[in-house]
Structure 1
Amino acid sequence: MDFNLPRLIGDYILGPRIEQGSFVTVWRAKHQSSGLEVVIKEIDKKLFSPKVSDSLLTEISTLSTINHPNIIRLFEFIETEGRIFLVLEYCDGGDLAGYIRRHGKVTEVVARHFMRQLAAGLQALQEKTSYS
């Protein structure tokens, strides 16, 4: 085995690992031809019950149809026998929890801005799931 070859998931070259959890490993990656930076969440299906796996696939199906500025975009998902790979939009600013860790207490104006974004994203999800 050649350990110098990059690991490929579909058309994506895996880069450094960003996060490791019990069920999920998060990787930074790049599309081979376009160079688009993405995040790939690698989910170990063997640790899920069939019911949880079915619920996850339903959520993936819903998210794959949503394109909203306040919701991380799911570009593609790749399923193998033991794993699911979610190819997601890469946001170099991080998430809300990271923002709060970096900046500490936020002002009311900033909190209001985040709440509007959260509400708009939740509304888009609710509308999509109520019409599906």
Structure 2
Amino acid sequence: MAQSTSRGGGGGRCVGEYMVGKQIGSGSFSVVWHARHRVHGTEVAIKEIVTEKLSKKLQESLMSEIDILKQIDHPNIIRLHDIIEEPGRIHLVLEYCRGGDLYMYIHQRRGRVPESTAKHFMQQLAAGLQILRENNFIHRDLKPQNLLLSTHDDNAVLKIADFGFARPPI
């Protein structure tokens, strides 16, 4: 795990080797930022979690999420690139999905998605779930907001995200 080199000032905030941009999401205990690698320009999403606010159970859930993401490498599962720690915070550097989530995709189309597109997304969801099953994990929070899309178009790659509730089956 890398250490953060956060800096204030006119150049914007840095987390590790990433220049942090605008906020693109938030949850109960996290904020997600769009960022770019300072040298390569690669776009990423940085999930910033304030660890001091997490109960012991939530800290265990976070560690479980990290363990799962480290083990799975599949086109239909969000990819974890790096973990950057600083006092009181942990940053998960994740694959950036320009297309947003499936909820917004459906909403922008007024609930009307072509059958061929729905089939395309469901096949990808099934492929992602199959990989989780083969690795003995269950997601436990599947919903359109946790299904991200690589692009805005109908041929986007669907990616399962947010493994905070995921567990190995008992």
Alpha-carbon RMSD across the aligned residues, in angstroms, is 2.0
Deviation at 1:57, TM superposition (A): 0.8
What runs of 5+ residues in structure 1 fail to find an aligned partner? Answer: none
Using structure 1 for the length normalisation, give the TM-score.
0.87
TM-score by length of 2: 0.69
Question: Following the alignment from structure 2 to structure 1, what is the Cα–Cα distance between the partners of residues 87 and 135?
Answer: 29
Which string of whole-angstrom CA distances, capped at 9 and with x for unpartnered residues, describes residues 36-91 of structure 1?
Answer: 00010111112221122122112212212322111111111122331121111111
**Where does residue 52 of structure 2 map in the other structure?**
46
More helix by share: 1
Instruction: Name which of 73, 83, 87 aligns with 2:93.
Output: 87
Q: What CA distance in whole angstroms lies between the structure 2 residues aligned with 1:47 and 1:91?
A: 27
Partners of 1:84 and 1:2 in 2: CA distance: 18
Identity %: 51
| Conserved? CA contact 1:6–1:13, under 8 Å | yes
SS in 2 for 1:94: coil
Which ranges in structure 2 are unaligned for 5 or more consecutive residues? 1-6, 138-167
* Number of corresponding residues: 131
- The alignment partner of 1:110 has SS state of helix
Runs of 4+ aligned residues of structure 1 deviating over 3 Å after TM superposition are none
| Separation (CA, whole Å) in 2 of partners of 1:26 and 1:42 | 6
Deviates more, 1:40-49 or 1:17-26: 17-26
